[in-house]
Chain A
């Protein structure tokens, strides 16, 4: 079915892609770090962090600016590789594979681990092309197949009803919140098993934030979600596990409810209650 046909479709809910893509996999990923230290030249940005991120859950990383939480997140899909002076000690294991091994295909790795950034960063092209464009480079040559995946991804990101009549419109016609959900749809289209989200709502208004938070909660049914958030209320609202970082170290890592009602560590308590940070 062509995009034009999709747009003409009267009953939008019954649109069926020609090839039903598999959005989300039955088996979701588990990430483990072992004594992970990250350096930018001499600066030790992460110090000996060992943690396991569970599947089908949202894990929030919190901590004051400069604590290393974003560095940690970007280390999970080798986004820091091109940063000058970057190096690591220790291991990052995703689904049993050491991702910093020399034989790892980083393109395949990043296909498996999608990323959503602070500000929506759509490509300057149409709404649907934003999603289908990258699929070409991942071997999906048939346009109708790419478009079918695009439609499914938009539906999964909760954006379909808002854009189905204007898929060829420029992406900048969308609001900030819609653009961010489009970026999530774009990440989903590559059928990752892990989604890394670096403060995905920091540029959004409260209503768009709630919509994206609802989306995150629904996504955890299929994906392992790792969320960096400066907004502790958001971490408390959406995440299942929370990790508190301070000066590159993992101070406390526990169930979110426990962390925010009865933290075990005094430093954690002082941070989340606003006594420093």
Chain B
């Protein structure tokens, strides 16, 4: 008796999946470009950001239409309001993939002062966190959402490792300083992507349980 409403909610889920996959593509393109020092690949990652921004606007419009026309309550209200909050974090992830790519272009013609093994691990981990957070939303999977929240510690530890490595490199040779700062920024962007994935997972948790862990109540 609410086929139209249900089909609109399906549309919302589909749009979230599309936006999620755009973000995953942006992160993986940005990472590939960084590791391979590939400017063209970096430009691809930047191009994804425009699509992500458009998708955010589309989903926002769909959520507002659902709120206006369906006046949702209970689980429906939580699902729609969670989606509205999630897309803000998703859009920011797209921005950070762009930020990483801009540094990649800047460093493309110079050799790296260190291997990017830990930064690559950060990229893999944060990419998985984003995928799992969006999947958890679509599948109403609380366990998966909690997995994303827990995974943030791994990313944070990797960031500290990268930071300490870079400090050592600067101490060894002050000339490393400039690139070390750029690589620290890259690591920080991945760390922030992890934080945004956690925010998304917390809204998924709210959508499923009705409780947001950061709420004052």
State yes or no: do A and B come from one complex.
Answer: yes
| Interface of A toward B, CB cutoff 8 Å | 232-233, 236, 260-263, 268-269, 272-276
- CB–CB A269/B74 < 8 A: yes
Interface-central residue, B2, B72, B75, B209, by most chain A CB under 10 Å: B75
- Taken together as a complex, chains A and B put the C-alpha atoms of A236 and B77 apart, in Å, by 13
The listed residue (B72, B209, B211) touching A273 by CB distance below 8 A is B72
- Taken together as a complex, chains A and B put the C-alpha atoms of A268 and B78 apart, in Å, by 15
- CB–CB A263/B71 < 8 A: no
- CB–CB B78/A273 < 8 A: no
In the complex, the chain A residue whose C-beta lies closest to that of B72 is A273
Residues of chain A within 8 A of B74, CB atoms compared = 260-263, 268-269, 272-273
In the complex, the chain B residue whose C-beta lies closest to that of A260 is B73
Interface-central residue, B2, B5, B72, B73, by most chain A CB under 10 Å: B73
Quick one: given A274-B1, A274-B2, A276-B1, are A269 and B75 in contact (CB under 8 Å)?
yes
The listed residue (B2, B71, B73) touching A261 by CB distance below 8 A is B73
Residues of chain B within 8 A of A260, CB atoms compared = 73-74, 77
B10 to chain A minimum Cβ distance, whole angstroms, is 15
- CB–CB B76/A261 < 8 A: no
Q: Which of B102-146 contact A (CB under 8 A)?
A: none
- CB–CB A261/B1 < 8 A: no
Q: Is the interface of A mostly helix, strand, loop or mixed?
A: helix
- Taken together as a complex, chains A and B put the C-alpha atoms of A162 and B23 apart, in Å, by 59
- CB–CB A262/B5 < 8 A: no
- CB–CB B210/A261 < 8 A: yes
- Taken together as a complex, chains A and B put the C-alpha atoms of A275 and B74 apart, in Å, by 12
24 inter-chain pairs at a CB distance below 8 angstroms, sorted by A residue, are A233-B71, A260-B73, A260-B74, A260-B77, A261-B74, A261-B77, A261-B78, A261-B210, A262-B78, A262-B209, A262-B210, A263-B74, A268-B74, A269-B74, A269-B75, A272-B73, A272-B74, A273-B72, A273-B74, A273-B75, A273-B76, A274-B1, A274-B2, A274-B5
- CB–CB B1/A273 < 8 A: no
Q: Which of B69-93 contact A (CB under 8 A)?
A: 71-78
In the complex, the chain A residue whose C-beta lies closest to that of B209 is A262
A216 to chain B minimum Cβ distance, whole angstroms, is 19
The 6 closest A-B pairs by CB, nearest first: A262-B210, A260-B73, A274-B2, A269-B74, A272-B73, A273-B74
